[in-house]
Structure 1
Amino acid sequence: MNLARDVEAVERAVWQDMFAAAPAPFRDDAGLSHRRFDGALAIAAANIPDTQFSRAFAFGIDAPTDERELDNAIAFLRATGAPCWWLQPAPEERALIAAIEARGFNRTTRQWAKFVRRLDVDATVSTSLSVAQISAEQGDAFGAIVCEAFGAPPPLALWLKALIGRPNWRLYVASVDGVPVSAAAMWSDGDFAWYGIAGTNTAGRGRGGQTAVLARLINDARASGARLLVAETGEKQPGAVSTSFDNMIRQGFTVAYLRPNYAPPEQC
């Protein structure tokens, strides 16, 4: 098993399905588009200035990447009009990284940490919060938590709500006295699961909501038959606080690898 390829393939499946799920009004307003280039997936949100929604990744996981695939992905992202976007080669793709750098792309100072957790043991947590998988009726609360946590525009909640009930997806909230304060999503298919879209609102900070949601999600993924849970967050910087990074470490995740981000020369 090539761990990096499995991890990249899971992320590709998640984001391809997430973009496919976007309701038409939101998709058009946000300028969403996505396209496969051989193995690589390029996604773009022309009207959302956040690089997590505009990037190309999963190069070389189905077959060796050639420069045509790279150039096609670059041309696609430039044509979308997204204000900021990245190329994200896996660190083992040395020839690809050299080709990216030869095109004038600049490596950002912070990489993405790609996490894995093997699902051979349950997660345990002591909490007074209640955690539940949500239905469509609770979709507004889920979206509101995530939008507040990330400072995202409220219409993004329409996109997140569209994931409820979609095959392979489960969305969760943790509540204090019946009031939702933390949220997270899981995608799963066969041996693999993914954890993300996780956030806590201001009222819920410091209550352990993310820890509680993550423990529930881990155990549900294990019960579904998945063997490996995948996640990502920004690389932890020296002296900086990274709650999501630390929460995953506490719940048994390990960093599989650090993936670099490359910005095009016109953004630097």
Structure 2
Amino acid sequence: MDYMRDRMKAMMEMPGNPNGAEMRAFNSALAVYCRSMPWPMFNNVKGKLEPEQLEPIIAFYRERERVFEFQVMPKHADPEVLIELARKGFYQSGFHSTLFTEAQPIEAALPEGITIRALQDHEFMQYAAIHCEATGLPLEGQHYVAENNRIVGCRPGWRYYIALCDDEPAAVAVMYAEGKAASCTFAATLPKFRGRGLQLALLRRRIRDAYAAGCELVVAQCAYGSSSHANMERAGMRLGYTRATWKPLVT
């Protein structure tokens, strides 16, 4: 929630708020919305849900004509809330895992031909190209991805990385550190470079950098049972919890 709140603040503070970014607190729940980006990452509800807050939250997105999702942690899986979500036409569509480890000075040799370094200020278009191609986003949106990440990258706590394979840009990763905790917020590898150990190397680099920054905890999220999940376990991370994703049955 901390990293998402800071990312949304960065977009909201852009002159004129061109992305139409909004955040609203509903007691302990946080709803985020972005007019220019319809993806679930920018249109979801996190935190503790309360039965009486469900209708106001739904109305918030209905007014903006936006499909969104509720992200329900096991700790906050109140049966009354889940029953009410079902009554309101939502269903559990999947699972998403959060893994964690202690920040530590990991030392591990990089795979042959691989180098990792901090992304430079002039390289955000390159970052965006990898981000789009690796995640299946159309390259027409490369400029928007570059600009939205450039404004985040200059804020305190954010670190962007690029991995090169035989000197060719191959993968990117992001970390947000605040206080004693760091979050690995994003990572992606171009299809032709997958299977070379890039994501494991980027995880180890971020865990080491989190330690150097004074953090005690490192967390990351991924699809349950995915290759990312396996890489996180190889990096020494273990499962903290698996949250449930609830979406509207009819969109």
TM range (shorter): 0.7 to 0.9
Letter in 1 for 2:56: N
Displacement of 1:175 in angstroms is: 1.0
TM-score (norm 2): 0.87
Tell me if the contact between 1:123 and 1:218 (Cα under 8 Å) persists in the aligned partners. Answer: no
- Please say if 1:196 is aligned against 2:179: no
Displacement of 1:93 in angstroms is: 1.9
Q: 1:58 aligns with which of 38, 47, 68?
A: 47
Q: 2:24 aligns with which of 27, 32, 35?
A: 35
Q: 2:3 aligns with which of 11, 14, 26?
A: 14
How many angstroms apart in 2 are the aligned matches of 1:247 and 1:213?
A: 10
Tell me if the contact between 1:125 and 1:215 (Cα under 8 Å) persists in the aligned partners. Answer: no
Report the aligned-residue RMSD: 2.2
Letter in 1 for 2:119: I
Runs of 5+ in structure 2 lacking a partner? none
Alignment correspondent of 1:122: 106
TM-score (norm 1): 0.82
Tell me if the contact between 2:104 and 2:207 (Cα under 8 Å) persists in the aligned partners. Answer: no
Tell me if the contact between 1:149 and 1:201 (Cα under 8 Å) persists in the aligned partners. Answer: yes
Alignment correspondent of 2:91: 106
Letter in 2 for 1:43: V
Displacement of 1:178 in angstroms is: 2.8
Runs of 5+ in structure 1 lacking a partner? 1-11, 60-64, 237-241
Aligned residues: 243
- Please say if 1:227 is aligned against 2:212: no
Q: Secondary structure at the match of 1:261?
A: strand
Letter in 1 for 2:158: W
How many angstroms apart in 1 are the aligned matches of 2:125 and 2:16?
A: 15
Letter in 1 for 2:247: A
Q: 1:86 aligns with which of 66, 69, 93?
A: 69
Q: Secondary structure at the match of 1:111?
A: strand
Displacement of 1:218 in angstroms is: 0.8
Higher strand content, 1 or 2: 2
- Please say if 1:138 is aligned against 2:127: no
- Please say if 1:210 is aligned against 2:194: no
